[in-house]
Amino acid sequence: MRLVIAGGTGFIGSALCARLIDLGHSLTILARTQSPGPILSNKDWIIWQPGSPGPWEEAIDGADGVINLAGEPIARRWTQSQKERIRKSRMDTTRDLVTAIRKAKARPKFLLNSSAVGYYGPRGDELITEDGGPGSDFLSRVCIEWEEEAKKAEAFGVRVIRLRTGVVMGRGGGALAKMVPPFKLFIGGPLGTGRQWMSWIQMEDEIGLMVHLMERPEVMGAINATAPGPVTMKEFCQTLGKVLRRPSWAPVPAFVLRVLMGEMSDMVLTGQRVLPVKAQESGYAFKYPNLSEALQACLPL
């Protein structure tokens, strides 16, 4: 297939591009800067600025699919201006892609648009499937608007997949790269009470699920990209400690996180217990349903 990817240089995007190239797909990557590495023969780069029309729109015309993973990172202190950047980066990018889809003479067959399990908001011990309603906190509101922008492409006959991703575990970055160093220094432990749920997915399954969904024309709508075994923060840290052969004994109190991280601390002090019902119903078989095996596959970082 000929695919257009926004956000192809990030932690997940770069891994996805590598897999798609291995599978023989032709990629056009929309980036804000020139390629950070060698340009492969079946991969083109187009400079674009979300919020501004331009020649990049021509790449959408005739493409088989569009994948949108773009967005300002959320793992930093949320000032009011940073919150607006988080929101605006997702809205502008998605709106621009949908506008280009509308203009295209030969429209893509699908739009795979990133979202997050933050859509559901803090839900305690409740088991959540794709039928669960949204929350009302900041991340929930961002995800709701984000998905609504993507859904507008359905009016043009495009299959829209809204991928609600959990915490992605992989080499070279992401949450795990921030969590491992304290354990190596023997000061690792859960954040807050440790009772909050953590819905995670190993990178190979994140990428494998996206490829699976691209190839299933009957699947659309919201899809939870999480492993079938969510765990509490305490269970996660205990498992990580065992894999690293380090103790998990030094919890970080909630008040310390709130002082250091502000409102963003709510993201790690609360959580969602999410199940990938539609992914499994579509026939996807998780390579890493077990947390211990998933973590071992990620290490060393």
Instruction: Give residue limits of the domains in the chain.
Output: 2-173+201-227+273-287
Q: What pLDDT does 301 receive? A: 66
Full-model pTM: 0.94
Residue 114's H or E segment, with its range, is strand 110-116
Phi, psi for residue 161 in degrees, rounded to 5: -110, 125
| pLDDT (tens digit per residue) in 216-237 | 999 999 999 999 999 999 999 9
pLDDT surpasses 60 at 38: no
pLDDT surpasses 80 at 12: yes
Distances, alpha carbon 107 to alpha carbons 3, 92, 96, 103, in Å:
12, 20, 14, 8
Taking each helix axis from N to C end, the angle separating 233-244 and 174-184, rounded to the nearest 10 degrees, works out to 60
Provide the residue type at 298 as one letter. Answer: C
Q: Which fold has domain 2-173+201-227+273-287?
A: Rossmann fold (3.40.50)
Q: What pLDDT does 276 receive? A: 98
Phi, psi for residue 44 in degrees, rounded to 5: -110, 150
Q: Which residues pair with 220 in a beta bridge?
A: none
- The average pLDDT across 132-150 equals 96
Range picked from 84-93, 151-160, 250-259 for highest mean pLDDT: 151-160
Range 122-127, long-range pairs (CB < 8 A, 24+ positions): 122/266, 122/270, 122/271, 122/272, 123/272, 123/273, 124/273, 125/197, 125/273, 126/273, 127/273, 127/275
Q: What pLDDT does 40 receive? A: 52
| pLDDT (tens digit per residue) in 181-217 | 999 998 899 999 999 999 999 999 999 999 999 999 9
Lowest mean pLDDT among 12-16, 196-200, 224-228, 264-268: 264-268
Rg of the chain on CA atoms, in Å: 19
Among 3, 43, 6, 15, smallest CA distance to 206 is for 15
Q: What pLDDT does 251 receive? A: 87
Whole-number Å distance between alpha carbons of 290 and 297 = 11
Residue 177 has, within 13 A of its CA and on its CB side, a CA count of: 9
